[in-house]
Chains A and B, each alone.
Chain A
């Protein structure tokens, strides 16, 4: 089955750039999406179709997808960005949705 691999944790200082990676075989052939989830809240879509940002999501969130790796970048990271982040893709061969294991972003 298709798998997406994320680092379990990333730490960043306020104002710095946070980079969270998501690796999967030939991931560039699929659209990658990213979700932010804070404790007790529902997931929130922050990036879709690799690079697109939904309305209301700050410009400091950006995405890319090349080769086997999709990347979520948060520039000028703020304490409010502290959350779990999940990547997601569609496995077209199996017709299933796949989530990465999630990355806990700590802003300190």
Chain B
């Protein structure tokens, strides 16, 4: 069973950088693509981006200029950095495994990040 656990600050100031880490257990991080998805309050799911264990990435075009997703295979972790955050980036952030057959099959429990001064 693949388990994913998000970690990181729950409060970030406007204009600063949001940083989250997802720790993977129960599967090799070389097995899947790894993803970040968010759910803003009152809105729908929004894909942020994917990373493969090799380091190759795909990003949502609307966020690409502010987002970096990276992977640390030695720690079985992958990370999200989003710079220049605003209140619009307040959301529950989920990490997930993305199957090579184009679906998300395992999800973390999610972490709420609030952008506020």
* Interface residues of A, Cβ cutoff 8 Å to B: 1, 30-31, 33, 35, 37, 42-45, 48-49, 54, 84, 86, 88-90, 94-102
Contact = CB atoms under 8 A, between A and B. Distances in A.
A99 B46 contact: yes
A93 to B, nearest CB: 12
Interface of B: 35, 37, 39, 44-47, 50, 58-61, 94, 96, 98-99, 101-105, 107-110
A97 B107 contact: no
Closest 4 CB pairs of A and B: A33-B103, A102-B44, A97-B47, A42-B107
Contact of B50 (A35, A42, A97, A102): A97
Given A31-B102, A88-B45, A102-B45, 4 more contacts: A33-B102, A43-B37, A43-B107, A94-B61
Contacts, number: 66
Contacts of A31: 101-103
B22 to A, nearest CB: 12
24 contacts: A31-B102, A33-B104, A35-B45, A37-B45, A43-B45, A43-B94, A45-B103, A45-B105, A48-B99, A48-B101, A49-B102, A54-B105, A84-B44, A86-B45, A89-B102, A96-B59, A96-B61, A97-B47, A97-B98, A99-B37, A99-B44, A99-B45, A99-B46, A102-B44
Contacts of A33: 102-104
A105 to B, nearest CB: 14
B104 A88 contact: yes
B109 to A, nearest CB: 6
Interface centre among B45, B61, B105 (most CB of A within 10 A): B45
A48 B105 contact: yes
A42 B110 contact: yes
B113 to A, nearest CB: 15
B35 A97 contact: yes
Given A86-B45, A100-B44, A45 B61 contact: no
B105 A96 contact: no
B107 to A, nearest CB: 4
